[in-house]
């Protein structure tokens, strides 16, 4: 299943904060600042990409747990980045350290767990929910 997955794999995901990324538009608050859900999504993206090239074709990771603090607000127009580092491998469960930064300071930190799944059976099981 995995090709040399190893502790220490890293990835950085970046974006410029737009109005669509704000708490007011997302619905998680009423201010036009980078929303916590968007920060978490960027962290998940960094973790997913940190290991994506090390998985066999047909396999991918899905997020299963987050423990994240949002430490500081970021205005629209500022660049943000999320960094993920693989800290632990427990069979098919992967544990990442995640951090987020804007142009001035650290804005978030925590841990994120992902699970390695085979895409076709995973999607078949998920789509079966519609038929019940």
Q: How far is CA 97 from the centre of its chain?
A: 11
Strand partners, 98: 84, 110
Catalytic residues: 36, 44, 70
Please give the C-alpha separations between residue 32 and each of 13, 15, 80, 82, 86, in angstroms, as whole numbers. 21, 16, 15, 20, 32
Query: Rounded to whole angstroms, how far apart are CA atoms 87 and 7?
Result: 5
**Pair of tokens at residue 78:** 């500022």
DSSP E strands, 17-58: none
Q: Which residue has the tokens 């997020």?
A: 63
């Amino acid at each position: 299943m995995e090709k040399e997955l190893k502790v220490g794999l890293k990835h950085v995901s970046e974006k410029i904060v737009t109005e669509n990324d704000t708490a007011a538009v997302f619905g998680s608050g009423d201010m036009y600042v980078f929303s916590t859900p968007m920060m978490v999504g960027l962290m998940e993206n960094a973790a997913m990409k940190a290991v994506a090239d090390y998985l066999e074709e047909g396999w991918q990771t899905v997020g299963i747990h987050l423990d994240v603090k949002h430490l500081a607000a970021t205005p629209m127009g500022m660049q943000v980045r999320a960094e993920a580092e693989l800290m632990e491998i427990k069979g098919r469960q992967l544990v990442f350290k995640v951090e987020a930064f804007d142009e001035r300071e650290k804005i978030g930190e925590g841990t994120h767990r992902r699970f390695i799944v085979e895409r076709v059976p995973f999607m078949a099981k998920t789509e079966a929910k519609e038929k019940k």
